[in-house]
């Protein structure tokens, strides 16, 4: 099995860019990744691109050849769609392609254009990640689904409403703090716990600041074999050493747990086993905080906390930038933004920058050697976990 | 457009004949369903749902999708009916139903679209 190195990463600014087409966003990210990697586009043997709802949000299907052309690539191209985990799956399949020896250079990433629609249309488009018959027709929105998980969590672990809301507000405030220096982040501004608590409700108990924003953006990473990196004298010091994926029942009502995310448990177990690590080895994590409660469920599934104990981690400071295990130093989906189909690739890009030492928040984790990314689809019916390491 | 299996299941609540599908090993599911994802069984029998279920999770939705625009704010709950859980819109003042409350299923109409909606009413 060939080792996999991250040769380069590229991002667009995450934010409100309603006039920019998806093809333009992805081209920028891909060219940035090319420049960062120092790998010519002619050497790219495969494009794996994540995109969730371009068919609805941009009236554009058959995304892969369009984005290959936009990025100047002439190679087999495939779109991966696994809701908000689309780019995570695209990266995972790129890792597998390089490992198998099928390709030495794969460009993976994703794109979503969202703010060209108004909020109700976007809400409706995002809701298709839920079960159409049993959830959408029962009025379940995406925030609503996570709100259901939040109330089930409070019930399962005997948490009162005030504690639940305050601890979740601490997650939001933490991630906004982390986004402050990140030039790619949608919200480079602080919010206080009080501001988060006072925000208007979206789906109770979740308020506006418990929810990630609607975001336009793209991500790209160039993954190469160790042999290619050595032969071309690349500076590629971060390796992808573990990949895992899990699946759960689509609708919340059909799950064993309403307040846990077993698909992410499975993805983490698979990725850790693949990498030969356990949760205690992880120095830094980027997790899928589409809603504040999602970060809590993520850090429990990743094994950093027992079920029911992750809720207060941000309030206690443990997952803050200066804490024991910083989570979402990029700002997370909450403050960096969540262009749905790009997010899984963005997490790999941000973790690579953090481990290489060229992320504005790298100084918070100067000795970090092992980083984990957690990318989830829907209400975590899909989950993808990757383990990145600073190579010897 | 009709959805075979689902439509019959939903409309059975109109006559208070709500049901679920039990596989030969007793795992409960909702139609349409050909294979039990728990055990692989392909043999199902219709079983009557209990008349009431218990709320397991609740949210009050303030920002709806366009198809529920005129309905908001409204409560959506997941309720436990034993072998299966159901998700539905609550027929009560928003914010008044709590986890542990008993609810009974019926069919209502979206105020926005007029489409049939599974309604769970506190009892």
Mean pLDDT of B93-122: 96
Domain check: are B8 and B55 in the same one? no
Q: Is the pLDDT reported for residue A392 higher than 80? A: no
Say what the ipTM of the complex is: 0.98
pLDDT in tens, A54-69: 999 999 999 999 999 9
* Per-residue three-class SS string for chain A: CCCEEEEEEEECCCECCCCCCHHHHHHHHHHHHHHHHCCCHHHCCEEEEECCCHHHHCCCCCHHHHHHHHCCCCCCEEEECECECHHHHHHHHHHHHHHHCCCCEEEEEEEECCCCCCHHHHHHHHHCCCCCCCCHHHCCCHHHHHHHHHHHHHHHCCCCHHHHHHHHHHHHHHHHHHHCCCCCCCCCCCCCHHHHHHCCEEEECEEHHHECCCCEEEEEEEEEEHHHHHHCCCCCCEEEEEEEEEECCCCHHHCCCCCCCHHHHHHHHHHHHHHCCCHHHCCEEECCCCEHHHHHHHHHHCCCCCCCCCCCCCCCCCCCCCCCCCECCCCHHHHHCCCHHHHHHHHHHHHHHHHHCCCCCHHHCCCCCEEEEEEEECCCCEEEEEEEEECC
Using CA coordinates, name the residue in chain B closest to A158.
Answer: B99
Q: Do A123 and B88 touch (CB under 8 A)?
A: no
pLDDT in tens, A154-172: 999 999 999 999 999 999 9
**Percent of chain A predicted with pLDDT > 90:** 97
CATH number for the domain harbouring residue B86 = 2.40.50
Residue ranges of A 116-175 with Cβ closer than 8 A to chain B: 119-121, 123-124, 127, 133-141, 143-144, 147-152, 155
**Percent of chain A predicted with pLDDT > 70:** 100
pLDDT in tens, A297-315: 999 999 999 999 999 999 9
Residue extents of the structural domains in chain A: 4-117+213-387
The predicted pLDDT at position A121 comes to 86
Shortest alpha-carbon distance between residue A200 and chain B (Å): 9
The predicted pLDDT at position A41 comes to 95
The predicted pLDDT at position A315 comes to 98
Instruction: Read off the pLDDT band of A192 (50, 70, 90).
Output: very high
Mean pLDDT of B7-17: 96
Domain check: are B73 and B116 in the same one? yes
Q: Do B63 and A202 touch (CB under 8 A)?
A: yes
Q: Do B66 and A140 touch (CB under 8 A)?
A: no
The predicted pLDDT at position A350 comes to 98
* B96 in reach of chain A (CB within 8 A): no
Cα distances (angstroms) measured from residue A270 to each of A24, A52, A351: 35, 24, 19
Instruction: Read off the pLDDT band of A120 (50, 70, 90).
Output: confident
Domain check: are B56 and B103 in the same one? yes
Domain check: are B3 and B32 in the same one? yes
The predicted pLDDT at position B30 comes to 98
Domain check: are B57 and B117 in the same one? yes
Q: Do A251 and B61 touch (CB under 8 A)?
A: no
Domain check: are B63 and B101 in the same one? yes
The predicted pLDDT at position A119 comes to 84
With beta carbons less than 8 A apart as the criterion, state whether B121 and B107 touch: no
What strands, in cross-sheet order, belong to the sheet with A105-112? A77-80, A46-50, A105-112, A217-225, A4-11, A238-247, A382-390, A370-377, A284-286
Mean pLDDT of A86-98: 98
Q: Do B117 and A135 touch (CB under 8 A)?
A: no
Mean pLDDT of A129-147: 95
Task: Provide the mean pLDDT of chain A.
Answer: 97
The yes-or-no answer on residue A84 being catalytic is yes
- Rounded-to-integer distance, Cα B87 and Cα A145, Å: 10
Please, how many CA atoms are within 13 Å of residue B84, restricted to the half-sphere of its CB?
Answer: 24
pTM to 2 decimals?
A: 0.98
Q: Do B29 and A134 touch (CB under 8 A)?
A: no
pLDDT in tens, B41-64: 999 999 999 999 999 999 999 999
Residue ranges of B 32-91 with Cβ closer than 8 A to chain A: 37, 56-69, 71, 74, 76-78, 84-89
Size of interface A-B (CB pairs under 8 A): 106
Structural domain boundaries, residue B29:
1-49
The predicted pLDDT at position A18 comes to 97
- Number of domains forming the structure of chain B: 2
3 state SS of B115: coil
Q: Is the pLDDT reported for residue B80 higher than 90? A: yes
The predicted pLDDT at position A123 comes to 83
* B105 in reach of chain A (CB within 8 A): no
Q: Looking at the structure, give the CATH architecture of the domain made up of residues A4-117+213-387.
A: 3-Layer(aba) Sandwich (3.40)
- Rounded-to-integer distance, Cα B48 and Cα B16, Å: 10
Residues A250-266: b if buried by 16+ CB within 10 A, e if exposed: bbbbbbebbbbbbbbbb
- Rounded-to-integer distance, Cα A118 and Cα A115, Å: 7
Mean pLDDT of A106-130: 93
Tokens of A299: 């850090």
pLDDT in tens, A328-371: 999 999 999 999 999 999 999 999 999 999 999 999 999 999 99
- Rounded-to-integer distance, Cα B48 and Cα B28, Å: 11
What are the chain B neighbours of A210 within 8 Å (beta carbons)? none
Instruction: Read off the pLDDT band of A291 (50, 70, 90).
Output: very high
């Amino acid at each position: 099995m060939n080792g996999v190195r991250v040769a380069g990463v590229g991002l667009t600014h995450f934010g409100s860019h309603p006039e920019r087409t998806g093809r333009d966003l992805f081209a920028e990210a891909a060219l940035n990744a090319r420049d960062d990697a120092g790998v010519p586009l002619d050497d790219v043997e495969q494009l794996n691109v994540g995109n969730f709802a371009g068919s609805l949000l941009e009236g554009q299907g058959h995304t892969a050849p369009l984005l290959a052309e936009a990025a100047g690539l002439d190679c087999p191209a495939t779109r991966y769609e696994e809701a908000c985990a689309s780019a995570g799956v695209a990266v995972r399949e790129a890792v597998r392609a390089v490992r198998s020896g099928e390709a030495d250079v794969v460009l993976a990433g994703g794109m979503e254009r969202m703010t060209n629609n108004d909020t109700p249309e976007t809400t409706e488009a995002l809701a298709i990640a839920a079960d159409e018959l049993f959830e959408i027709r029962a009025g379940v929105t995406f925030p609503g689904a996570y709100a259901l998980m939040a109330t089930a969590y409070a019930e399962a672990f005997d948490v009162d409403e005030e504690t639940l809301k305050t601890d979740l507000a601490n997650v939001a405030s933490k991630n906004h703090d982390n986004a402050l220096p990140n030039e790619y982040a949608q919200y480079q501004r602080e919010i206080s716990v009080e501001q988060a608590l006072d925000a208007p409700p979206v789906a109770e108990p979740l308020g506006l600041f418990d929810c990630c924003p609607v975001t336009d953006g793209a991500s790209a990473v160039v993954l190469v074999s160790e042999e290619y990196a050595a032969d071309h004298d690349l500076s590629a010091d971060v390796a992808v050493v573990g990949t895992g994926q899990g699946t759960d029942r689509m609708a919340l009502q059909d799950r064993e747990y309403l307040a846990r995310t077993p698909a992410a448990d499975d993805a983490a177990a698979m990725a850790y086993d693949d990498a030969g690590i356990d949760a205690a080895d992880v120095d830094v994590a980027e997790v899928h905080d589409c809603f504040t409660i999602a970060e809590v469920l993520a850090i429990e599934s990743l094994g950093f906390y027992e079920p029911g104990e992750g809720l207060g981690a941000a309030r206690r400071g443990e997952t803050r930038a200066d804490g024991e295990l910083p989570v979402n130093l990029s700002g997370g989906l909450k403050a960096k933004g969540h262009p749905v189909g790009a997010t899984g690739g963005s997490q790999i890009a941000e973790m690579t920058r953090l481990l290489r030492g060229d992320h504005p928040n790298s100084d918070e984790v100067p000795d970090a050697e092992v980083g984990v990314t957690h990318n989830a689809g829907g209400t975590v019916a899909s989950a993808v976990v990757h383990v990145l390491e600073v190579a010897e | 457009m009709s959805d075979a299996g689902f439509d019959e299941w939903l409309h059975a609540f109109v006559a208070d004949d709500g049901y679920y599908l039990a596989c030969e090993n007793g795992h409960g599911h909702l139609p349409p369903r050909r294979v039990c994802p728990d055990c692989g069984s392909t043999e199902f029998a219709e079983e009557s749902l209990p008349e009431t279920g218990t709320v397991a999770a609740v949210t009050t939705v303030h920002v709806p999708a366009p198809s529920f625009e005129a309905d908001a704010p409204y409560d959506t709950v997941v309720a436990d009916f034993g072998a299966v859980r159901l998700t539905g819109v609550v027929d009560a003042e928003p914010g008044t139903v709590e986890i542990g409350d008993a609810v009974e299923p019926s069919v209502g109409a979206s105020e926005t679209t007029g489409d049939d909606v599974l309604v769970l009413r506190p009892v």
